[in-house]
Structure 1
Amino acid sequence: MSDPALDALFLPFEQRLLPWPSEGALFLRARAGVATTGGRWPGLLCAQSFAPAHAELQRAGFETLPVDPEDALPQRLLVLVLPPRQRDEARAELARALQATAPGGWVVASVANDEGAKSSQDDLARLAGNIAVQSKHKCRVFWAQRDDRADTALLARWAALDAPRAILGGRFVSRPGVFAWDRIDPASALLAAQLPDTLSGHVADLGAGYGFLSAELLQRCAGIRALDVVEAEGRALALARRNLTGLRDDVTLDFQWADVTRGLSRRYDAIVSNPPFHAQGRSERPDIGRAFIAAAAGALKPGGQLWLVANRHLPYEEILGARFAQVREVAAMAGFKIVHAEQPR
């Protein structure tokens, strides 16, 4: 697939505007793609907290860092970064990239024009005190040197923007960039209101985010004995672990950093899910939700049940009918639908 920001990121090296260090480079929010094929960039050490992208990097043969958002980063003379869309999260990532750059080294970033390229360029200039830029592929690639012009106080403040903090009166901790990070997503709230308190046995929450639906299950369903919290974004899963551990001493919790679309390895009595319908871009991806439904059907016990919330326009009815003997729409409100499916085929 086309990845213009990734292609633009390597322009300064392809055009020999910057040297490629013999020790390689640290690559934050790394993605595999055409620009990284062929072994042209030896020694690339990749950090990626999104499980599908992390697995793709490993399949492509790149060395990857363990996923722990609290871990300190190794220093390199060159640090590459693909900043995310959310402003505070992007500023934190640029600050971390510059902090991980050895003195005299370079940090290089690339952002699509319609994803906030000019703002990110200005942010790096504020941090580093110097900037160079090129434009191509409807993106900006910009770079700065780590030297005594860096604003160390601003670096520290912006690096802390990604720190977990209390939300919703202290009920949860969350961080910028996580889905619905500072609120309860209305679709999840609608699903929680419809869930019966009779769910029991071994249950899974697919695409759990920072843990809202899992917390509702633990607090309302006394018959649950084990709960698998499955989430592809490692930054969100770390929050879910903090938010859920200790809520129920009689429930076995398992936190799984996993790509649900590749299937599940266990069998469940019930599954709940507010599946994503975007990947790492803005375009709708109903195939992700369909893959969640297929994975749930394949993992449920013969008498198991799925509780799902989705935007009303998303085309899930065909796969629900193909994979479950009984499907009913329980509620529809504010553009969302709640589906209860039983008897997986």
Structure 2
Amino acid sequence: MTADPALETLLLPFRQGLLQWPGDGVLFLRARDGAPLHELPLPGLVCEQTFKPDADALSAAGLSLNIDGSRKYPLVMVLPPRQRDEARALLARAVSLVAPGGRVLASQGNNEGARSSEKDLESIAGTLHTMNKNRCRAFWTEPLPGLTDPRLATEWLALDAVRRIEDERFVSRPGVFAWDRIDTASALLARHLPERLAGDVADLGAGFGYLSVELLTRCKGIRNLHLYEAEARALDLARLNLASFEKQIPIEYHWHDVTRGLPRSYDAIVTNPPFHTGGGREQPDIGRRFIAVAAESLTVHGELWLVANRHLPYEATLQGRFSRIRTVAQEAGFKIIHANR
């Protein structure tokens, strides 16, 4: 398994005897699988994860993803995300899910906002205990009697609310990709999509649905549209943003890890593939795999429309998978590539 310093640091208080594992249930928000989860007995652990690859890994490891939304837990563990509004909302939710006398325990990388998250948890829950290890910070509350600051909890939970952006054309929320704007690369791709695209079409890594909306607005020959997105929070937004088109053509939404392949073939595929890991490090292999999956999933005359940062080395993968490749545009540090089978 790949090293996960934040996860390892999260469990250190139990290894060192600073905390005792409760016997009657632990909720793990934004959970990830990793070796540290299998090195200690962790009875009653229940996980929540909206990112499909991580959710699949947790399920494959035999960990429970069935959350009882009505119960409170004696311990709620959290791996806070980098985006602060989303992180604050998640911490407020963690505190609201703690049973009387229970604790919240969190861990985060020092370069991903650990100091801010620690201060935020202290603001909403009071005195904390802290330890530093693996360039990460673990921090946990005293036993909590309940919500110590209901007003602040309500305020922070609202930070993650769905809201309208771009002159109210779209709905979005903190934490999803380019959540408060139209991503420059996606907008560039949209401007170059030809109106002739038709038939069965897929949007890989669809986010909150911007490219799909542009496709259905511009290309009247589309017979049906399938959106594939690994982040369930983003896919829920896409459903809202595309609701008005569902009377015109069939639209399907797939909570799916594209790197595992697609279940069917398409006449055209558009994509702005991700190329960062959760820690912000570039990982071009993700984009390469998107390209390979697109090639495998196109009909014999199918075409791919792709946008990427100019420096990303995708050309070799494209040349190995497609018969015709052309760079349609290079602008603002991005490149638009059209490839045919």
What's the TM-score bracket when you normalise by the shorter of the two chains? over 0.9
Aligned pair in 2 of structure 1 residues 160, 264: CA closer, same or farther (>3 Å)?
Answer: same
Q: Look up the equivalent residue of 1:280 and give its one-letter code.
A: G
Confirm or deny: 8 A CA contact 1:130 1:149 kept in the other structure.
Answer: no
CA distance in 2, matches of 1:65, 1:113: 31
Confirm or deny: 8 A CA contact 1:47 1:64 kept in the other structure.
Answer: yes
1:20-35 correspondence to structure 2 within 5 Å: 20-35=21-36
Confirm or deny: 8 A CA contact 1:129 1:151 kept in the other structure.
Answer: no
1:230-309 correspondence to structure 2 within 5 Å: 230-309=228-307
CA distance in 1, matches of 2:29, 2:86: 13
Q: CA deviation at 1:16?
A: 1.8
* Equivalent in the alignment of 1:168: 166
Q: CA deviation at 1:14?
A: 1.2
Give 2:119's match in structure 1, choosing from 114, 118, 122: 122
Taking structure 1 as the reference length, the TM-score comes to 0.96
Give 1:195's match in structure 2, choosing from 193, 196, 199: 193
* Equivalent in the alignment of 2:138: 141
**Residues 1:58 and 2:56 aligned together:** no
**Residues 1:6 and 2:7 aligned together:** yes
Q: CA deviation at 1:146?
A: 2.1
**Residues 1:105 and 2:106 aligned together:** no
**Residues 1:340 and 2:338 aligned together:** yes
User: What is the aligned residue count?
Assistant: 339
Partner SS for 1:166: strand
Q: CA deviation at 1:12?
A: 1.3
Q: Look up the equivalent residue of 1:21 and give its one-letter code.
A: P
CA distance in 2, matches of 1:49, 1:167: 22
Q: Look up the equivalent residue of 2:17 and give its one-letter code.
A: R
* Equivalent in the alignment of 2:149: 151
Taking structure 2 as the reference length, the TM-score comes to 0.97
CA distance in 1, matches of 2:272, 2:70: 32
Task: Output one character per residue of 1:163-215: Cα deviation in whole Å (capped at 9) or x when no partner.
Answer: 11111111111000111001000000000000001111110000000010000
Aligned pair in 2 of structure 1 residues 318, 73: CA closer, same or farther (>3 Å)?
Answer: farther
Confirm or deny: 8 A CA contact 1:129 1:149 kept in the other structure.
Answer: no
**Residues 1:78 and 2:97 aligned together:** no
Partner SS for 2:323: strand
Q: CA deviation at 1:65?
A: 3.5
Confirm or deny: 8 A CA contact 1:24 1:41 kept in the other structure.
Answer: no
Q: CA deviation at 1:72?
A: 4.5
Q: Look up the equivalent residue of 2:57 and give its one-letter code.
A: E
Q: CA deviation at 1:2?
A: 1.2
Confirm or deny: 8 A CA contact 2:95 2:147 kept in the other structure.
Answer: no
CA distance in 1, matches of 2:225, 2:277: 25
Q: CA deviation at 1:75?
A: 1.8
1:81-100 correspondence to structure 2 within 5 Å: 81-100=78-97
* Equivalent in the alignment of 2:129: 132
Q: Look up the equivalent residue of 2:182 and give its one-letter code.
A: I
CA distance in 2, matches of 1:242, 1:204: 18
Q: Look up the equivalent residue of 1:61 and give its one-letter code.
A: G
Q: CA deviation at 1:134?
A: 0.9
Partner SS for 1:246: helix
Q: CA deviation at 1:247?
A: 2.2
Confirm or deny: 8 A CA contact 2:264 2:297 kept in the other structure.
Answer: yes
CA distance in 2, matches of 1:111, 1:168: 32
Aligned pair in 2 of structure 1 residues 271, 27: CA closer, same or farther (>3 Å)?
Answer: same
Q: CA deviation at 1:148?
A: 5.3
Q: CA deviation at 1:302?
A: 0.3
Q: CA deviation at 1:40?
A: 1.7
CA distance in 1, matches of 2:192, 2:177: 21
Q: CA deviation at 1:159?
A: 1.1
CA distance in 2, matches of 1:146, 1:226: 51
Q: CA deviation at 1:297?
A: 0.4
Q: Look up the equivalent residue of 1:212 and give its one-letter code.
A: Y
CA RMSD of aligned residues (A): 1.3
- Gaps of at least 5 residues in structure 2 are none
Q: Calculate percent identity across the aligned residue pairs.
A: 57
Aligned pair in 2 of structure 1 residues 124, 73: CA closer, same or farther (>3 Å)?
Answer: farther
CA distance in 2, matches of 1:121, 1:73: 27
Q: Look up the equivalent residue of 2:75 and give its one-letter code.
A: L
- Gaps of at least 5 residues in structure 1 are none
Confirm or deny: 8 A CA contact 1:85 1:115 kept in the other structure.
Answer: yes
Confirm or deny: 8 A CA contact 2:125 2:149 kept in the other structure.
Answer: yes
CA distance in 2, matches of 1:140, 1:113: 6
Q: Look up the equivalent residue of 1:63 and give its one-letter code.
A: S
Confirm or deny: 8 A CA contact 1:207 1:232 kept in the other structure.
Answer: yes
